[in-house]
Amino acid sequence: MYLAKVYVTLKPTVNDPQGLTIKGGLHTLGFNSVESVRAGKYLQIKLDGSDRADAEEQVREMCQKLLANPIIEDFSFELEEIQA
Amino acid sequence: MYLAKVYVTLKPTVNDPQGLTIKGGLHTLGFNSVESVRAGKYLQIKLDGSDRADAEEQVREMCQKLLANPIIEDFSFELEEIQA
C-alpha cells in the first residue's frame, strides 16, 4: 500500500484570485510582510500497487486524467510506502 | 525572503465529501486500486522575516488565525529561504 501526496498548483502565469483574496485577508490581519500567496490543492491518496514504479505510474496518470487541469495547472507528488 | 509551503488537511475524523467524490471519479476512470482520497489545501506564501524563527512564528500565526479552521482542520508547513 502506498500513500501519494499530490500537490496541484496553478501555473505561474495564471491569475489566482483565491490567492489574492487570502493575501488581502492576511494584510487586513496585520501580516504586512506577506508578498504573495498562491493557492493550490493537496491530495492524500492511498492506493495499492505491485511496486513503487507501478504506483508512481498510476498516480501520474490520475493527475493527467483527473486531478490536474493541464491547461492551467502543474502537479507534483511524493510516494511513500505505508502499512495496509 | 522566505517561501512557506502550507498544507491544510481535514482532521482524520472529519467527513470529506470532496475526497469521496474524487475517489469515485478515479474508480470510474478505472483506477480501482485507490482505497481513499483526502482533499486539502496547499498554499505557497512568500513573506519577509527578520530571520527563520520570526518567519516561522508568523506563518504559524497566519494558520491559526486565517488559513486553517482549527475545529476541523490540521495544518503543517515547511519554510525555505529564497532570493527576494
pLDDT tens across B41-65, in order? 999 999 999 999 999 999 999 999 9
Neighbour tally for A78: CB within 10 Å: 10
Whether chain B has a CB inside 8 Å of the CB on A3: the answer is no
Please, are residues A42 and A7 in contact by the beta-carbon 8 Å criterion? yes
Is the pLDDT at A83 greater than 90, yes or no? no
Please write the tens of the pLDDT for every residue from A5-47: 999 999 999 999 999 999 999 999 999 999 999 999 999 999 9
pTM: 0.92
Quote the number of domains for chain B.
1
Q: Is the pLDDT of residue A84 over 80?
A: no
- A76: phi then psi, degrees, rounded to nearest 5: -150, 160
> With a CB-CB cutoff of 8 Å, which residues 53-82 of chain B face chain A?
58, 61-62, 65-67
**B45, closest residue in chain A (CA to CA):** A37
User: Taking CB atoms and an 8 Å cutoff, what residues of chain A touch B29?
Assistant: 62, 65-66
Q: Which domain holds residue A42?
A: 2-81
CATH number of the domain at B29, please: 3.30.1280.10
ipTM over 0.85: yes
Whole-number Å distance between alpha carbons of B39 and B15: 11
What three-state secondary structure class fits A51? coil
